[in-house]
Amino acid sequence: MALEDAKDQVDRAFTREELTGLSHENAFGGALSFLRRRYSKDLSAADLAVTGIPFDQAVTNRPGTRLGPRAIREASSLQPFDPPYGWDGFSPLEELAIVDYGDMAFDYAFTGDVPDRIEAHIAGILDTETAPITFGGDHSITLPILRAFAKRYGPMALIQVDAHTDTWPDYDDRRIDHGTFLYTAVKEGLIDTAKSVHVGIRTVVEDNLGMEIIDARAVHERGPAAAAARVKEIVGLAPVYLSFDIDGLDPAFAPGTGTPVWGGLTSGQAAIILRDLAGIDLKGGDVVEVSPPFDHGGITAVAAAHVAMELICLWGWPRRGG
């Protein structure tokens, strides 16, 4: 079946009519979209929308994450042939209507306008009753995304996979900084700190503002299944936003990022954690800090594309068969 389909399928980003179904277009050719989904600004029939925010002007070290959304889309071209492994037969591409909403438009020369544009961009998706999965860009984009979600759902439970907590103090509202976004989010009341958790941390934190940390060493020593079980205990039944900074992975598995730190999660550990979170009330999520200029063989982008698929599975798991 797949081989027969491959003879005729090309440029599915534009030619596919349906929003569901696997794709068998040659992975090495054709117009790129995430998972060969259709590019569209019409979300009236969509369950999920993936969108890119190619912004990296808030980094503290290496830039390049503005190229992340494009790289993640390219890396995803090998995934839409089959259902994702490890989800007990759940096939989100066949059961969920998913649209590639494209990237957010903005003028790079007006950096100060970007957060408000991000918030409006995500709010526009949410207003259509569609769940957004966002590709960064640097981690500063998560703050305005959380603002949009909090206006809809109230304070969110946050699961953050990261090498850094991003809770460095920020005493100036004008700053746009990927290392302070969560400090500001807590101060604005966007997240419920008692139901929020960091996974994979391996940098010094002076004040984590009341959120629990499951650091990288704990994952290595106790195992990823135990980490996932603890995360589920913490978030409970609350509405959840999951932000995955690709530097949560060890640089051996994700070298293409701006602030790499040794001793991180393996891709296998991350996969187990994400799959074992099945059942949480995920409302949306992001994958950030993929910097293709520092990648090797596209392995960081490949990891990010798989993380994005896991986010789609987590969102769709409670809704499967519906």
Evaluate whether 35 touches 79 at the Cβ level (below 8 Å): yes
The pLDDT of residue 171 = 78
Q: Write down the pTM of the prediction.
A: 0.96
Residues 242, 282: contact at Cβ < 8 Å?
yes
In this structure, the number of other CB atoms found within 10 A of the CB of residue 296 comes to 8
214-224 confidence digits (pLDDT tens): 999 999 999 99
pLDDT at residue 4 in the model: 55
Please, what sign has the CA dihedral across residues 250, 204, 185, 294?
negative
Q: For residues 224 and 217, what is the distance between their CA atoms, to the nearest angstrom?
A: 11
Compute the distance between CA of residue 114 and CA of residue 112 in angstroms, rounded to an integer.
Answer: 6
Q: With 90 as the cut, is the pLDDT of residue 205 above it?
A: no
Do the Cβ atoms of 175 and 183 come closer than 8 Å? no
Residue 150, classed as helix, strand or coil, is helix
SS (HEC) of 237-271: CCEEEEEEEHHHECCCCCCCCCCCCCCCECHHHHH
Q: What is the pLDDT of residues 83-124, one digit of tens each?
A: 999 999 999 999 999 999 999 999 999 999 999 999 999 999
Rounded Cα distance between 81 and 244, Å, is 24
Q: At what angle do helices 299-316 and 267-276 cross, to 10 degrees?
A: 10
User: Does the pLDDT value for residue 1 go beyond 50?
Assistant: no
| pLDDT(8) > 90 | no
| Mean pLDDT of the chain, nearest integer | 95
Range in 1-15, 55-69, 87-101 with the lowest mean pLDDT: 1-15
Which of 302, 246, 264, 318 lies closest to 71, judged by CA?
302
Lateral strand order in the sheet of 197-199: 38-39, 98-103, 48-53, 131-136, 281-288, 239-245, 157-161, 197-199, 212-214
Q: What percent of the chain clears pLDDT 90, i.e. is strictly above it?
A: 90
Q: Are strands 239-245 and 157-161 parallel, antiparallel or unpaired?
A: parallel
Q: DSSP letter string over 39-53? A: E-S--TT-SEEEEEE
- CA atoms lying within 13 Å on the CB side of residue 124: 13
Q: Is the dihedral of CA 290, 292, 296, 298 positive or negative?
A: positive
Structure confidence at residue 262 (pLDDT): 98
Closest CA to 55 of 124, 6, 110: 110
pLDDT of residue 2: 55
CA 43 to chain centre: 19
The domain in which residue 235 lies consists of 2-319
Dihedral (Cα; 151, 199, 104, 94), 10-degree rounding? -90
Q: Which residue has the tokens 């798991």?
A: 317
Residue 277: pLDDT over 90: yes
pLDDT tens-digit series, residues 177-203: 887 899 999 999 999 999 999 999 999
Residue 115: closest CA among 38, 174, 50: 174
User: Looking at residue 147, which CATH number applies to its domain?
Assistant: 3.40.800.10
The total of structural domains in the chain comes to 1
Q: Which of 34-38, 54-58, 204-208, 227-231 is the least confident region?
A: 204-208
